Structure 1
């Protein structure tokens, strides 16, 4: 049995990059959702950005489940 080390390294690199990116986007969502309530218009923008970040995270998870199931 031979191991394709180049392919294994690529899978590791992509997995690491995707994990760091997904955690970063989720963190931005948490920061946006905890915006100061007295901010007025900037609070609305922060909340909208937070919802977009959470939506992106949900889409990434759904795509991962799709890849596993397909």
Structure 2
């Protein structure tokens, strides 16, 4: 049995990179929610920018998760 170490390294590298990217995007979404809550508590108003940031970040995370499930489940192909 031959093992293609280059391919294994590429898969590991992409997996680690995507994982870090999803964590960073999720953290930016939480930051957007914090900005939204902070603006609401301080001025009594709302911050549309913080809510938009959170929504886009969480939507991107959900898209990555959905794509991963699509790749894993063969019935979706």
| TM-score between the two structures when normalised by the length of structure 2 | 0.83
Using CA pairs below 8 Å that are at least 6 residues apart, which structure has the higher relative contact order? 1
Greater helix share, 1 or 2?
2
The corresponding residue for 1:60 is 64
Of 30-39 and 54-63, the range deviating more from structure 2: 30-39
What RMSD in Å do the two structures reach over aligned CA positions?
Answer: 1.3
Contiguous gaps of at least 5 residues in structure 1: none
The corresponding residue for 2:19 is 19
Runs of 4+ in 1 over 4 A off after TM superposition: none
Q: Max radius of gyration: which structure?
A: 2
Contiguous gaps of at least 5 residues in structure 2: none
Number of residue pairs the alignment of both structures matches: 69
CA distance in 1, matches of 2:51, 2:20: 22
Of 44-53 and 31-40, the range deviating more from structure 2: 31-40
